[in-house]
Amino acid sequence: MSTIVTRFPPSPTGFLHIGGLRTALFSYLYARANNGKFLLRIEDTDQARNSKEATDAIIEAFKWVGMDYDGEVVYQSQRYDLYSQYVQKLLESGKAYYCYMSKEELDQLRESQRQRGETPKYDNRYRDYKGTPPKDIKPVVRIKAPLEGEISFYDGIKGDMNINAKELDDFIIARSDGSPTYNFCAAIDDALMGVTDIIRGDDHLSNTPKQIIVYEALGFKVPKFYHVPMILNPQGHKLSKRDGATNVMDYKDMGYLPHALLNFLIRLGWSHGDQEIFSIDEMLRLFNPKDINTAPSAYNQEKLLWLNSQYINKLSNNEINELLPNYGATIPSKEIQDILYSEAKERSNTLVEFANIINECLNDEINFDSKMKEKIKNDENIHILKEFLTYTNTMTKPKTIQDSENEINAFADFQGIKAKSLFMPLRYALLGKSGGVGVAVLLSILEKDQIQLRLQNAINSLC
């Protein structure tokens, strides 16, 4: 059995988005699960639109999600001489030819075909041309496509595919300036890099017969193809930036964990029973591109947030501490971590939310919520806060949530009131808003002087 070799070939004309990352993940898993090779190729032949920043971001995204690749990154821009050699080989063998048709002539031909209700395409007029080359025309090079029959291949997702040769024309493999075209470069590189299985979006389906023509003209073995249906937004339309088709590294900035994102992506078009959460080992063991759904998948932001929360819950304190500085949070003491992190996990879908909880709990400069202020601003609550401030002078600093609850109950008993009547005014004083972690948690993590400062500031804001 031959070694499975897959590849991912992004174009650095824009940042890597999640649709591309999903395709890369499928290719990566299939190769790694079969002890094969996963290759990375940067298709940077479009010098006018290429971005060094985008290239760097693609490689950075692979590093962030932990998807390693074999060998060095292949850059098409460094392989022009190689492509030229193969263009020349096809010219010499009579399988390609120079076409001297001007742009104006081609435009005129296409317009006349449209007027006749035909599909616009080149009419092969220079396919067997033996005359004198027209002056002042820099020719393109076209490959001789089959004139009859079918171009057939088996798609691992879609099944048997048959394309009538009459639907194709002699497409360009080298432009008038000598630069090679996409389909020609892709076929050459896939063949020379030993790619056996091509997993890509079904927007590339129309490129496949053209690439097969190149493979066969040069005597290369045709690889296996898997064309993956697109990711659509919840309304069934093409994914936009607003829906989630954004730079992969933006997901890091938004507080998503890389394995949560990979878990989310593998479930877009593939499943294993009712299982939702997959470790990388499980993905490697269970994934097969033959099991990819034939229908498009819908992007579900709520599902991504839920998955991310599950992965955050599994993080150790040390793992969280490595990540928090990226989101503007200061790492608290171990004693605080042991109490606060579990509470923050329960309330966080992203690391940004987690960091915000840490900051709002530990920052003594509280912005009191105006609506809550109006709600609790009465003599009874002011009296409770003043009495509790006095009580803290004799209160033993709580070290656990249970200690805090005991102190709250003891104070309520002393005041002859119900404990639940304390929570709103204390929450206002300690956190400044109605939501967030519990009052007992705050009393457990704050020092006595912090508690007293917040109580006094709250009293001042109400008086």
Q: How far apart are CA 153 and CA 313, in angstroms?
A: 46
Long-range contact list for 134-139, CB < 8 A, 24+ apart? 134/100, 137/100, 137/102, 138/176, 138/177, 139/98, 139/99, 139/100, 139/176
Residue type for 194, please?
G
Please tell me what DSSP assigns to residue 400.
S
CB crowding 407-420: b at 16 or more within 10 Å, else e: bbeebbeebeeeee
- Tell me the sheet residues that pair with 143: 96
Task: Supply φ then ψ for residue 152, to 5 degrees.
Answer: -120, 145
Helices (H), strands (E): how many in the chain? Answer: 19, 12
Residue 213: closest CA among 277, 267, 159, 152: 152
Contact 6, 30 (CB under 8 A): yes
Q: Helix, strand, or coil here: 7?
A: strand
Instruction: Give the pair of three-digit tokens for residue 176.
Output: 């008038």
- Report the C-alpha dihedral over residues 45, 216, 194, 295, rounded to 10 degrees: 80
Please tell me what DSSP assigns to residue 213.
H
Q: What's the angle, vertex CA 226, arms to CA 250 and CA 69, rounded to 5? A: 50
Strand order in the sheet with 197-201: 159-164, 150-155, 224-228, 197-201
Q: How far apart are CA 386 and CA 442, in angstroms?
A: 18
Long-range contact list for 337-346, CB < 8 A, 24+ apart? 339/400, 339/401, 339/441, 339/444, 339/445, 340/437, 340/441, 340/445, 341/317, 343/437, 343/438, 343/441, 344/437, 345/309, 345/312, 345/313, 345/315, 346/313
Is 121 annotated as contributing to ligand binding? Answer: no
Element of type H or E holding 44: none
Contact 11, 46 (CB under 8 A): yes
Residue positions forming the annotated binding site for ATP: 241
Residue positions in the annotated binding site? Answer: 241
